[in-house]
Amino acid sequence: MNEKERMLKLLAASPATLAAVDAVLTGTDKKKADDDCRLVTFVEAAKRLNLSRPTIYRLVKNRRLESVALDGTRRIRLKSLVAFADGTAA
């Protein structure tokens, strides 16, 4: 789709679609981490937070990161990582 076609679609969009576009453009359409049920491995968590894997294990042990058991392994909730990175973790 070229720029002209995109502009014509935007001009013909419904008010609800325009509101959604506005929310995305202003940055107010962020999905809340509380609604996020995605899980990551300890290695992935370490990479995302730029920490070592042993540090991630220590944070889980000290209950600074929330983890769940899944088929004999443990995973960390992504919302827990976001809260920790934002400084809002317990």
| Partners of 70 in beta bridges | 73
Per residue in 19-56, pLDDT (tens digit) is 888 877 777 765 554 456 789 999 999 999 999 999 99
User: Domain limits at 52?
Assistant: 33-86
pLDDT at 7: 85
Q: Are residues 13 and 37 in the same domain?
A: no
Distance in angstroms between the alpha carbons of the first and the last residue of the chain: 47
Q: Is 25 left (phi over 0), alpha (psi -120 to 50) or beta?
A: alpha
pLDDT at 23: 79
pLDDT at 35: 58
- Average pLDDT of span 58-63: 94
Q: Are residues 37 and 81 in the same domain?
A: yes
Domain count, the chain: 2
Q: Are residues 23 and 37 in the same domain?
A: no
Q: Are residues 42 and 75 in the same domain?
A: yes
Q: Are residues 25 and 66 in the same domain?
A: no
Which of 32-36, 48-52, 58-62, 63-67 is predicted least confidently?
32-36
Computed over every residue of the chain, the mean pLDDT equals: 84
Domain with residue 45: its CATH number is 1.10.10
